[in-house]
Chain A
Amino acid sequence: MKLTSTKFFRTFSQPLWGNNPVSIQSLGICSALAVTVQLKTAVVMGISMTVVVAFSSLLISLIRNRIPRNIRIIAELIIIATLVILTDEFLRAFYYDISKQLSVFVGLIITNCIVLGRTEAFALSNPPHLAFIDGIGNGAGYSAALIMVAFIRELLGSGKFFGLKILPGIFYTAGYEDMGFMLLAPSAFIIIGLMVWLQKTWVKNDTK
């Protein structure tokens, strides 16, 4: 059997591209956009998100046969919230500057539809290792979308890449100016919209 057709691999690769949670399923954009002004915050946010989705899927899948049906959602929320708090505490202890910039958006991972969506739709009915991989895949898909938006916004908005000036000074002397608009909220919506367009056209051609 080819690697690309195992269930294991498909579980991981599906959410990365063909079924990306942000750009195809339109989930979890809430927290996604506000942190995309810089690549650094986007990357950290992506990693935090991946950790939370992966481990909440794993834990819930492990206890999926024991959770009483009637308190399922609240139990899931508690596990997710615990993981989010741990992530937040960790960031505040070791990456203070970034956690200051992310402010409330780490906390908002709790209500991010991707996390609850994956635990509900996948972890509850699949074994732990698949659930974990599914979590990582979805987290990575989310991060990929985030990083792409952040890359565009940081490059066009402040001429930087990971906080380093990469546009040569000659551009500026020749009259080029940073696009301040890219740093404002509306630009994120428009970039996502265009990304969706690009990807949908692409994915459609793939399947044909």
Chain B
Amino acid sequence: MKAAVLVFPGINRERDMARTLKLVSGQAPAMVWHAETALPAGTDLVVIPGGFSYGDYLRCGAIAARSPVMDAVRAFAAKGGLVLGVCNGFQILCEAGLLPGVLMRNQQLRFICRDVYLKVERSNTPFTRGYNAGQVIRVPVAHGEGNYIADGETVARLEGEGRVLFRYCSPDGMVDPNWNHNGAINAIAGIVNERGNVLGMMPHPENHVEASIGPTDGRGLFAGLAEALAKAA
């Protein structure tokens, strides 16, 4: 795995992400500053971590989506390169037009940090091959604006094409408004683009990877990615 972690001013989970990538894949990622116009040669995974890029003072992710490095990311994705956006990263991917829809303020209008349960909808993708379809995983969320919404047609397409990879659910895997903490439509927690190579998700799998600290359900995502990339190489 030759990952590149993008760093925009105000991003703050880049260290968590880099540590997890190193822990799971054995290789430290390149940290790529937003003003760069190219990705490091040989990059096979671009990760946009969480945080508050540019303070989220405009719409979340709107300014970062227009950074120089994002042109390189668009080109990389167009060639089928794998892109993972977590939390603010998901918001940036939506603002950059790489994923459809938008993340609105949480339904109850408060920032929420807690462990949530996600149903993994498919396992036949490079992002979810480390899980079984239907598996329930426990990972933390920490966001004020994670309430995913898109127009009806787009949501229908996402569902119809199996592009919802993660959905908020109860501990036993039931989709239930009581377990959808931010009010996202269809309890959507993570989606991929049409081609399936760009994933955006609100929860933070990178914070649940060490048994000594807590649950390790986030590990499967990174381990699966590492495997997929090793196979491809």
Q: Do A and B come from one complex?
A: no
Chain B interfacial positions (CB closer than 8 Å to A): none
Chain A interfacial positions (CB closer than 8 Å to B): none
